Amino acid sequence: RRAHRPAAATRTFEPFILLERAELSRLLGNDEMHRRHLGEARRLFERLHALGAVRELTGRTAFRLYGL
């Protein structure tokens, strides 16, 4: 029997989908698309951080790691 997942749980994975798309576009050789998707993912996490939904764990500006 499948466990019921609330709608909020599926929204949690959206940033990871953006990163997977970015990785796919990089592998396919479309660097412009890769940069665009990485930028979108970065802005999304910056907004989540500003709202207090995630924490930035590294303290760096060039490489950031976010956690719940």
Distance CA 41, CA 47 (A): 10
Write out pLDDT tens, residues 2-22: 555 555 555 555 555 565 666
How many residues can be counted in the chain? 68
Distance CA 39, CA 16 (A): 13
| Strand-pair partners of 55 | 67
* pLDDT for 1: 56
Distance CA 68, CA 66 (A): 7
- Vertex 7 angle, CA 39 and 51, to 5°: 45
Write out pLDDT tens, residues 22-68: 666 666 666 666 677 778 888 888 899 999 998 888 888 777 888 87
Write out pLDDT tens, residues 25-35: 666 666 666 67
Domain boundaries, the chain: 7-67
Q: How many other C-beta atoms are found inside a 10 Å radius of the C-beta of residue 9?
A: 9
